[in-house]
């Protein structure tokens, strides 16, 4: 159970700092496992919010490929939900199976170390095939951390001098899948270039890169579907499960009510797939749904970056208060019953530091703003003042209303004269691609866990000691008293 020093009333993620713990060799980043077991599914603990500004076909597929579980928004028609789930499941590659990339990002051998590192950072690939001017395959550039240091001294070093040359790399010629599979397994490789033999004008043998083949390390592609609690939910559940959804998320702003309670009773009688209930903010609500068999519980109200609920209705909770209350309740419940119910922190997690603090208590975090900023999110790119932004808007905003024509999310009838918006529309600065972005979160989280002395999330929860900062010391967690160069 997370330990807290100091009063936490009214706290947010940024109000805390972690105490370091004793670190041994087994806590080095390469030995740390950051995945969470969500109802038997191993995923990265960052769940994209169930919002139309984030999740469409392309986003869902890219997220699933990166070991995440996207949640298809409930505000879509059931047909659109089914389409997105099918789109992902039809392309699924299971653990150990082969994933093919036909036109991978390449480096030319006369490009420099600086170019290579830029591509590694932009695309998140640590192995890049190298070709010559005519497009012939010459070797593989393999990212190593010491290159970051070398970059200072020799940014212009040609890739040719750094790559593992063709004669020293593993590869196959021709597309015999059995041979590819055998080679990957025998040599215990993650990736293999598939080449085609050609002869140039002088009759010299060269190789063309046909594709890269990877052996999938993560589980298969996971995808969940969000539902509301209105009549008709059963039909939606049947359709999305039939399409292949791995999990159902009850997506309400406040689930502590008789509608969600009776939905849960019925769901558990009829369906087997795991279900997450949310959102709630206190122990009593947690226990109600824990007893009804919730497979995960989502916490938070009024703290989302696009949310105005706490301003408009004055109902909600400080996000860390709610999370501490509910995760302490989760641990007590586990001691009493032996049933561990993962808790997902949702809303107001606005940077990596917030992710790290939230995961000291929660098993996973649901992120809206942070996923909306990636190129792959469903929102359009807007350019203003020379900067690129992605659209991002709340499911309770005017825009959401205009798209769907009702405010079911907030129990307002279709013909209501009074529309009480609880969200806003805006933009977030474009942040590049999802894969390297998520990898950065993973690496930062591992660094923190190393300092705390935790080799997995379970140990992180047990060992984390959070100190509540005063406003003055919170200000000193960043650079202060100096002129900062960007």
Residue 449 tokens, joined: 């866990």
Task: Check whether the bond before 382 is cis (ω within 30° of 0).
Answer: no
What DSSP designation does 420 have? -
End-to-end CA distance of the chain: 39
Radius of gyration of the chain (CA): 24
Tell me the closest approach of the beta carbon of residue 71 to ligand IMP, in angstroms.
9
Q: What minimum distance in Å lies between the beta carbon of 350 and ligand IMP?
A: 6
Smallest separation, CB 349 to ligand IMP (Å): 5
- Kindly tell me which of 171 and 410 has the beta carbon lying closer to ligand IMP: 410
Least distance from ligand IMP to the Cβ atom of residue 263, Å: 18
Q: Apex CA 180: angle with CA 175 and CA 182, to 5°? A: 145
| DSSP tag of 81 | H
Q: How far is the CB of 446 from ligand IMP (least distance, A)?
A: 22
Residue 81 is encoded by which pair of tokens?
């939900």
Nearer to ligand IMP, 85 or 349 (CB): 349
Distance CA(246)–CA(224), nearest Å, equals 5
Distance CA 103, CA 457 (A): 36
Q: Cβ of residue 304: shortest distance to ligand IMP, in angstroms?
A: 3
**Closest approach of Cβ 409 to ligand IMP, in Å?**
8
Residue showing tokens 């009702």: 406
| CB closer to ligand IMP out of 193 and 304 | 304
In terms of DSSP H, where are the helices of 70-166? Answer: 78-89, 113-123, 146-153, 159-162
Nearer to ligand IMP, 141 or 286 (CB): 286
Nearer to ligand IMP, 213 or 365 (CB): 365
Is 342 or 396 the residue whose CB approaches ligand IMP more closely? 396
Backbone phi and psi for residue 452, each to the nearest 5 degrees, phi listed first? -75, -20
Smallest gap from Cβ 188 to ligand IMP, in A, equals: 39
The residue length of the chain stands at 486
Angle between helices 352-359 and 319-337 (to 10 degrees): 30
Q: By C-beta, is 309 or 448 nearer to ligand IMP? A: 309
CB 106 within 8 A of CB 129: yes
Identity of the residue, 47 or 107, whose beta carbon is nearer to ligand IMP in the bound complex = 47
Strand 343-346, strand 296-299: pairing: parallel
- By the criterion CB under 6 A, which residues form the site for ligand IMP? 49, 51, 304-307, 309, 346-349, 366-369, 394-397, 422-423
199 pairs with which residues across the strands? 205
């Amino acid at each position: 159970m997370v330990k807290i020093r100091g009063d936490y009333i009214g706290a947010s993620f940024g109000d805390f700092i972690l105490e370091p713990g004793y670190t041994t060799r087994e806590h080095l980043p390469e030995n740390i496992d950051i995945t969470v077991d969500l109802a038997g599914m191993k995923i990265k603990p960052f769940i994209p919010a169930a919002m139309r500004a984030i999740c469409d076909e392309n986003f869902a597929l890219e997220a699933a490929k990166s070991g995440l579980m996207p949640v298809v928004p409930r505000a879509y028609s059931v047909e659109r939900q089914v389409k997105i789930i099918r789109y992902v499941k039809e392309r699924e590659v299971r653990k150990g199976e082969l994933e093919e990339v036909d036109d991978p990002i390449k480096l030319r051998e006369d490009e420099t170390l600086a170019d290579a590192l830029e591509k590694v950072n932009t695309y998140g690939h640590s192995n890049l095939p190298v070709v010559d001017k005519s497009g012939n395959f010459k070797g593989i550039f393999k990212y190593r951390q010491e290159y970051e240091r070398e970059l200072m001294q020799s940014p212009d070093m040609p890739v040719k001098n750094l790559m593992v040359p063709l004669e020293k790399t593993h590869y196959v010629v021709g597309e015999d899948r059995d041979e590819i599979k055998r080679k990957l397994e025998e040599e215990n490789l993650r990736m293999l270039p598939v080449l085609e033999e050609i002869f140039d004008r002088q009759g010299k043998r060269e190789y063309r890169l046909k594709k890269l083949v990877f052996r999938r390390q993560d589980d298969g592609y996971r995808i969940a579907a969000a539902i509301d609690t209105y009549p008709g939910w059963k039909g939606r559940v049947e359709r999305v499960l039939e399409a292949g959804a791995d999990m159902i998320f009850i997506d309400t702003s406040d689930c502590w009510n008789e509608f969600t309670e009776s939905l849960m009773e019925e769901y558990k009688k009829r369906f087997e797939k795991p279900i997450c209930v949310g959102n709630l903010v206190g122990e009593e609500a947690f226990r109600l749904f824990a007893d009804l068999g919730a497979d995960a519980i989502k916490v938070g109200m009024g703290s989302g970056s696009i949310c105005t609920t706490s301003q408009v209705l004055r109902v909600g909770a400080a996000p860390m208060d709610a999370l501490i209350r509910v995760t302490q309740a989760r641990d007590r419940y586990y001691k009493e019953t032996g049933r561990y119910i993962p808790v997902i922190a949702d809303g107001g997690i606005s940077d990596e530091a917030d992710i790290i603090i939230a995961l000291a208590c929660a098993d996973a975090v649901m992120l809206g703003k942070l996923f909306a900023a990636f190129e792959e999110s469903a929102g359009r790119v807007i350019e203003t003042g020379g900067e690129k932004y992605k659209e991002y808007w709340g499911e309770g905003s005017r825009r959401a209303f205009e798209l769907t024509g009702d405010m079911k999310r907030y129990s307002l009838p279709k013909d209501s004269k009074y529309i009480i918006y609880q969200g806003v529309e805006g933009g977030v600065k474009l942040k590049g691609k999802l894969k390297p972005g998520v990898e950065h979160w993973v690496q930062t989280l591992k660094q923190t866990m190393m300092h705390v002395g935790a080799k997995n999330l379970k140990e992180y929860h047990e060992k984390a000691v959070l100190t509540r900062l005063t406003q003055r010391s919170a200000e000193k967690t960043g650079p202060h008293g100096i002129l900062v160069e960007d």
